[in-house]
Structure 1
């Protein structure tokens, strides 16, 4: 028996819908947060404002060492995202700005370059490096769990919007993980082969100890 294409699409849509028991779960910031995310706000208290977020219309502050401003729209800022498995950030990069090597927890990142010229890339688990120069309107996917970076290589500010398949992808920056904590200098040297004098210099720069 043949299955009509319309019926098949309808069936797949229903079978893949993880939120079939309710339309949404707007975050209740007053309730305890669990491993699955925020608790749901009482539907009677939900308003349209829970589904609208305007912060990404404001440029981020690039007055820092990386010349980078990041404005997040995660479930912790945007309650309507809770439980839906997606989020977004705005990234402003001054001339020479850089998004240093970092990873996100269990989330792939799709970047859209809105303005400027950047170089972006990631390092695969076999240490193959994938780098591309992006211009206005270009998209690039950065697969989950892989170190990646962006750098403004143009002579004007750059603007990126990035989406994630997670409501709160988190971030771990490589240089801060190594040099902004109390991990002993000698141990860092042993596992990275970086000279201890250089490690101490970097710890002084990023605020690490030991």
Structure 2
């Protein structure tokens, strides 16, 4: 009985630790404003001297400003993470504004360190994410003003403006620095290039087609 209790306790501890480490580290003080000028490298950013902290360390202005959507994808993302607000350091949150031209997309991508919750402010979006192997199930939903949708951490997801007018969304993310991996850019625009024979076999096509796609990135 004692050995079973010990095994159960060990398993509980392992599960608890995995949950604790699944997001940014919890702060151990009121705040840890990032000091981008520190030469010290840590997992995150070094704390600024608290005696030098000021209100502007927790402030960002301009999220109300519409961004230029004349881009290859027809969208523009405005991030507000620890780079823009040093006071977000260790707090485990950030957000973005996304502007979409009519029929513009926020191309398939992942956030390796964050779950995302998106709210539509204007327009109509088709959103979706893909579950992991082997199912690779596509889950989609059409959103309108005021609708909210969640993209689980690490999964490939996208948005498309399916209206004839501009669309705007705000998304919150569960990391001060969620990271973003745009699938097409990473696969076809890596530096140096992934060998064409590898991509040709992966995408079940010929190397010449892969070369043409890589040239666009």
TM-score range, shorter chain: 0.7 to 0.9
The reply on whether 1:159 has 2:168 as its aligned counterpart is yes
| 1:49 counterpart SS class | helix
TM-score (structure 2 length as normaliser) = 0.83
The reply on whether 1:196 has 2:207 as its aligned counterpart is yes
Q: Distance in 1 between matches of 2:158 and 2:35?
A: 34
**In structure 2, what is the equivalent of residue 7 of structure 1?**
none
Choose which of 32, 52, 63 in structure 2 pairs with 1:45: 52
Aligned-CA RMSD value: 1.6
Deviations 1:36-64 (A, max 9, x none): 31111111111111111113222222111
Which residues of 2 match residues 15-164 of structure 1 at below 5 A?
18-19=26-27, 21-32=28-39, 34-125=41-132, 126-164=135-173
**In structure 1, what is the equivalent of residue 189 of structure 2?**
180
Q: Distance in 1 between matches of 2:38 and 2:64?
A: 29
Deviations 1:131-179 (A, max 9, x none): 0000000000000111100000001101010010000111111111121
Q: Is the 8 A contact 2:113 2:177 kept in 1?
A: no
Q: Distance in 1 between matches of 2:204 and 2:74?
A: 29
Choose which of 171, 184, 192 in structure 1 pairs with 2:180: 171
Q: Distance in 2 between matches of 1:32 and 1:90?
A: 31
> How far does residue 93 in structure 1 lie from its aligned partner after superposition?
0.4
Q: Distance in 1 between matches of 2:46 and 2:113?
A: 21
Q: Is the 8 A contact 1:107 1:169 kept in 2?
A: yes
Deviates more, 1:53-62 or 1:73-82: 53-62
Q: Distance in 2 between matches of 1:110 and 1:151?
A: 16
Cα distance, 1:56–1:32 mapped onto 2, change above 3 Å: farther
> How far does residue 28 in structure 1 lie from its aligned partner after superposition?
0.8
Deviations 1:12-71 (A, max 9, x none): xxxx9943x420011111113634311111111111111111132222221111011111
Moved over 6 A (4+): none
Residues paired across the two proteins, number: 190
| 1:55 counterpart SS class | coil
Q: Is the 8 A contact 1:32 1:38 kept in 2?
A: no
TM-score (structure 1 length as normaliser) = 0.86
| 2:63 counterpart SS class | helix
Q: Distance in 2 between matches of 1:30 and 1:112?
A: 34
Which structure 2 segments of 5+ residues have no match?
Answer: 1-19
Q: Distance in 2 between matches of 1:82 and 1:185?
A: 40
Deviates more, 1:58-67 or 1:28-37: 28-37
